[in-house]
Amino acid sequence: MSFDLFFYKKKKSLLTKEDITVYLDEQISREHEKASEWFYENPDTGVYFYFELSKPDLFNENPEESLPDFEDLHFSFNLNFMRPDFFGMEAFKFVQELITVFDLYILNPQGNAEVPIKESETSLFQSWLNGNKWASIDYFKEIKASYIHPGKSSKVWQYNYNKNKLQKELGDVYFVPTIFFLRKKENNEVITLSTWFQHIPTVIPPADFFLLGKEYKHWFKTVKESILVDYDTLIKTFDGDFEDYTPDGSKIIHPEIAEKIGNKFNRLRSSLHLESFAESIPMENLFNYRPEI
C-alpha cells in the first residue's frame, strides 16, 4: 500500500523532462543511466521513497484533453504507508523542494482536487498521514508490528537527520553517533540505542540505552569487549564529565575530559547483554499507530 503523486507543469512552461532528470540525478543516484526510477534512501534515518519516470500512454490519443492548461511530465512519487511519521516528514521536505525549484503542480489521487494544484509540504504530509494512520491500525496485528509514540520516534529522526551537519560543525575530533531503533525480546517494547567507543570525545544523544565498546590492556593482553548500559546509569557514572550541548537533550564530552576518564569507562560493568536483551527492528515493522488496547 502506498501514497502516489503525479507531477504536471503549465502548458506555457519551458520546463523539460530532462531538467527534472538532471536534478534527480544530482540528488538521488540511479541504479544505471537508463533506469527510470530514482530510489532515495537515507542511511542515517532509514527513510526511503522513490520517483519514477513512466512512458506516455500510447493508447490515449488526447492525454491532456481533460486538463487543457497542464502537461503531464510523467514523473510520479511513491511513499509507502505503514511507516513512522518521520518518513513523511523527510519525504515531503524533498518533494516540496522539487515543486519549488521547477514550479510544479501536483495531482494527488488521495485528495479531492480533480486537477493539478499547488500543494504545500504540510498538506501533502497530512494527506499521506491520514492513510498511514488507517493502514497502520488496520494491519498492526497482521504484520506483528512494534509501536513507538510518534513524538519519540520523530525526535530520534530529527537528531539522525541533522547528524551529518552536526559532525561537520564539530570536526573530526568528535564522533556523532546514530540512534537506532530496537525492540526488547521479552515484550516487543521499542527502545532506542546509541554507541560510545573507547571513551572518545563524542556527542551523547538522548537514547534509552548505550552500547559501550572497550579496548584496554590486561596482563599484557589487549581486551576488547562491549557492554550495554541504560541512559540513567551512563549519566550517573559520568556525572560532571558531560556538558549540555543541544536543545534536544544531547550532551557532549570534550577531548580534555575524555582523556582522563579511561579507567572509569573501562571499569563500568553491566548485567545486560545486547544479544539476549533486544533485536533490531525493520522500518516496515515500526508503527506510530495501533489499535486501541
Q: Please name which of 158, 124, 106, 135 lies closest in space to residue 2, comparing C-alpha atoms.
A: 135
Pick 115 or 160 by higher pLDDT. Answer: 160
Pick 224 or 11 by higher pLDDT. Answer: 11
pLDDT at 192: 98
DSSP character at residue 283: G
Which tens digits make up the pLDDT trace of 185-202?
Answer: 999 999 999 999 989 999
Mean pLDDT to the nearest integer, 53-79: 77
Confidence of residue 64 (pLDDT cuts 50, 70, 90): low
pLDDT at 112: 81
For residues 27 and 177, give the distance between their C-alpha atoms in angstroms, rounded to a whole number: 24
Cell numbers for 40: 532515495
Mean pLDDT to the nearest integer, 88-115: 94
Cell numbers for 289: 499507530
For residues 146 and 181, give the distance between their C-alpha atoms in angstroms, rounded to a whole number: 10
For residues 25 and 14, give the distance between their C-alpha atoms in angstroms, rounded to a whole number: 20
Amino acid at 2: S
- Residue 263 pLDDT more than 80? yes
Which tens digits make up the pLDDT trace of 224-259?
Answer: 789 999 999 999 999 899 999 988 899 999 999 999
- Residue 287 pLDDT more than 60? yes
C-beta separation of 185 from 276 below 8 A: yes
pTM for this entry: 0.91
pLDDT at 221: 82
pLDDT at 58: 43
Domain boundaries defined on the chain: 2-143, 150-280
